[in-house]
Amino acid sequence: MSKMPVTFNMSWFRFAALMALLLVFIVVGAIAGKEIGIIIAGLTFAFILISLRLVFGRYHSRGLRYYKRQQFEKAIAEFKKSLDFFRAHEWVDRYRIVTMLSPAELAFREIAMISIGSCYAQLGDIETSREFYEECLKEFPESMTAKSALRFIEAAKN
């Protein structure tokens, strides 16, 4: 496995909401059946969490795996599928704390565009990389990652 950095910006508010939901599962489990109820509730929560991420986040997860292995062409293909999926189902991305039980601060569309731009940069295709970062800024004007990447590209040019 490579040492490629992969970041995850987490919203502490979303994380707290997710932990509150887990606590609800545990309390209901404790009321229903003491220790075994708590175990069943925890396993049920984990099953739901994994299932939602497998259904809605499969392309994103594959893209990250390929990125970490430095298989950038394959990562690009998966991140593009992820981008297409979340554009077609924008509500899944917008309400990701509910639909995917994800505490991610950034939208998956934003992450996909940034990741595609990063992959192209790793492959040496700086112009295509720039296009994806600029596309990201059109949809997410406050994206600090896209802004930083574009500044880095400009600095490297000079």
Are 66 and 27 contained in the same domain? no
List pLDDT tens digits, range 114-123.
999 999 999 9
Are 64 and 139 contained in the same domain? yes
Are 43 and 69 contained in the same domain? no
Are 51 and 63 contained in the same domain? no
CB < 8 Å & 24+ apart, contacts of 48-51: 48/101, 49/101
**Which pLDDT score is estimated for 1?**
42
pLDDT (mean) for 7-20: 74
Are 104 and 31 contained in the same domain? no
CA distance readout (Å), 155 to 17, 80, 143: 40, 27, 18
**Which pLDDT score is estimated for 45?**
86
pLDDT (mean) for 52-72: 90
Are 93 and 47 contained in the same domain? no
Distance CA 129, CA 2 (A): 21
**Which pLDDT score is estimated for 18?**
79
pLDDT (mean) for 70-99: 93
The answer to whether residue 135 scores a pLDDT higher than 90 is yes
**Which pLDDT score is estimated for 2?**
47
Domain residue limits at 83: 57-158
**Which pLDDT score is estimated for 149?**
92
Any domain includes 70: yes
CATH code of residue 122:
1.25.40.10
Are 29 and 97 contained in the same domain? no
Any domain includes 21: yes
Average pLDDT, the chain: 87
pLDDT band at 64 (very low <50, low <70, confident <90, very high): very high
**Which pLDDT score is estimated for 10?**
66
Distance CA 100, CA 58 (A): 11
Any domain includes 3: no
Are 16 and 74 contained in the same domain? no
The answer to whether residue 128 scores a pLDDT higher than 50 is yes
> Of all residues in the chain, what percent carry a pLDDT higher than 70?
92
CA distance readout (Å), 137 to 103, 123, 130, 134, 146: 22, 21, 11, 5, 7
Are 63 and 26 contained in the same domain? no
